[in-house]
Structures are given as structure tokens and as C-alpha cells.
């Protein structure tokens, strides 16, 4: 069936670049050939080329057309690290790969917990939590989406980064422990667009709960990461020396 929309053309070309169907250093098929392949007009192809160029997957060379670039190297991160180190750890992982990147807090607010969050944090359904939405970038491209939740009764004032620091400063890495769940799946809904993943690329779906020494969960992190841009350091399985994550 012909691909009808520019977003689908972009997704299919992206997938073929990433899986090697169109190898690095070689030109993509000419625009007229792509139009015939996908059953679309020139606008859809022009839009797709513009998007792939913005992602760093192709570049235009005079008299040669759009040349495929080598897919970017992934950064290597650990998910089991002491509290308050997520932002610095992400930036350090980017620097080690010779890239620029950061973990940005986009919104911080009180919300009613859904059943999943309430269960993970040992709260009643519809209890209030402070939730932080974060975006991890690598060379200005989104590589992970974080949703971090904290029990509202641990927040004495307004939701803020200072409130997060106050909560996590009470967690001693020597006595705290972590529950960690990781699996790989296909991207869903808006995350596909944000992380620019499609086809067989997929995402890493991570859930991390940090508990204090009394067994009280104090932080729930749900991270969805582009598996082409992020890989996990599976050797680092401890929150701190001598503290297993399970």
C-alpha cells in the first residue's frame, strides 16, 4: 500500500537508514524515484528530507543529492545511581561520548496519582503526588522522556526543584535500595514523535523506585529512551557499594 503522508515517508526512510538499507556515505534515491515508491507528491518528499536533515541522518551534497550519514553513537548511562545525580550523570555520559546533552526539568506540579503511580509509591488511588516531567537531549535531539513522581506528603511547600532536593537529601545511598524494571518495546503515541523513533528501532522502558532505609518509596522514575541514542551500563547494578538493587 502506498505511503500517503509525509510523516510516514519520514518514518520509513529513517528506519531504512538506521537498519542499513540505505548505508552511510551513499545517496538516497532521487526525489522522483521516492515519489513513485511511496505514491506521494514532491511536498511529502521535501518535508521528509528536511526532517531527516534536522535529525542529522542525511546531508545535501551538490550534484549528488541527499547523502546518508552514519547514525549517531549512543551515550551509555546507568539508571542505578545515588539520588540527585541523574542530571549530572546524563551530562557526563554525553561528554564521554564527545557530545553535548542535558536533562532538563520541563514542568513540576502536583497531580492526582494514577493507579500505576499510587501502587508504586504505596499510596491510595488518587492520592496527590509531585510530578516532574523531564527531557533528556543529546546534541539538541530528544533521547529520553522522564516522568518522576514523589509522594506529596514529603513536600512541605510548593512543587519545585528545591523540594526534590529536600526529599532526596534525606536518602542515604548506604542504606537506600532500588527496585528496577527494564524492557524493550515499540514506541507508542506522542513518544514516537518526540523521540523520533519508528519501525523496529523501539525504546527502552525503565521503571526505577528508590526506597529509604525504612522501606518507604520516595521516588518513582519512569523513563522512555530511544534505543538508538541511549544504552544502559548493565555492569553498574548498585545504588552504592554493597547495596544491591533488588
Query: What are the residue boundaries of the structural domains of the chain, listed by start?
Result: 6-68, 75-244
pTM of the model: 0.76
CA distance 187 to 201: 8
User: How do the pLDDT tens digits run along the chain, 246 residues long?
Assistant: 344 578 889 888 988 887 889 998 999 999 999 999 999 999 999 999 988 887 778 988 988 899 998 777 889 999 888 878 999 999 999 999 999 999 999 999 999 999 999 999 999 988 999 999 999 999 888 999 999 999 999 998 899 989 999 999 888 888 888 899 999 888 888 888 888 776 556 899 999 999 998 899 999 999 999 988 899 986 544 444 333 344
| Alpha-carbon distance values, 64 to 27, 60, 68, 219 (Å) | 7, 8, 11, 52
- Spell out the residues 6+ positions from residue 7 whose beta carbon is closer than 8 angstroms to its own: none
Fold of 6-68: Arc Repressor Mutant, subunit A (1.10.10)
Domain over 75-244 is classified CATH 3.30.70.600:
no
CA distance 71 to 203: 16
CA distance 199 to 98: 28
Amino acid at each position: 500500500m502506498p505511503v500517503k503522508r509525509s510523516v510516514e515517508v519520514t518514518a520509513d526512510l529513517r528506519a531504512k537508514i538506521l537498519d542499513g538499507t540505505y548505508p552511510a556515505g551513499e545517496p538516497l534515491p532521487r526525489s522522483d524515484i521516492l515519489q513513485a515508491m511511496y505514491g506521494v507528491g514532491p511536498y511529502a518528499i521535501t518535508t521528509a528530507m528536511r526532517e531527516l536533515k534536522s535529525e542529522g541522518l542525511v546531508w545535501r551534497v551538490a550534484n549528488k543529492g541527499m547523502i546518508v550519514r552514519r547514525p549517531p553513537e549512543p551515550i551509555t548511562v546507568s539508571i542505578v545511581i545515588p539520588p540527585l545525580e541523574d542530571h549530572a550523570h546524563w551530562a557526563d555520559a554525553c561528554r564521554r561520548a564527545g557530545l553535548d546533552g542535558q536533562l532538563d526539568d520541563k514542568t513540576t506540579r502536583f497531580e492526582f496519582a494514577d493507579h500505576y503511580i499510587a501502587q508504586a509509591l504505596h499510596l491510595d488511588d488518587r492520592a496527590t503526588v509531585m510530578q516532574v516531567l523531564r527531557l533528556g537531549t543529546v546534541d539538541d535531539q530528544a533521547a529520553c522522556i522522564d516522568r518522576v513522581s514523589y509522594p506529596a506528603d514529603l513536600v512541605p511547600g510548593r512543587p519545585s526543584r528545591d523540594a526534590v532536593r529536600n526529599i532526596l537529601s534525606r536518602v542515604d545511598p548506604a542504606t537506600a535500595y532500588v527496585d528496577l524494571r527494564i524492557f524493550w518495546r515499540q514506541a507508542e503515541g506522542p513518544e514516537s514523535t518526540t523521540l523520533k523513533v519508528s519501525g523496529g528501532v523501539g525504546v527502552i522502558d525503565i521503571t526505577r523506585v528508590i526506597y529509604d532505609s525504612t522501606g518507604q518509596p520516595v521516588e518513582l522514575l519512569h523513563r522512555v529512551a530511544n534505543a538508538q541514542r541511549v544504552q544502559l551500563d548493565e555492569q553498574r547494578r548498585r545504588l552504592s557499594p554493597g547495596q544491591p538493587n533488588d
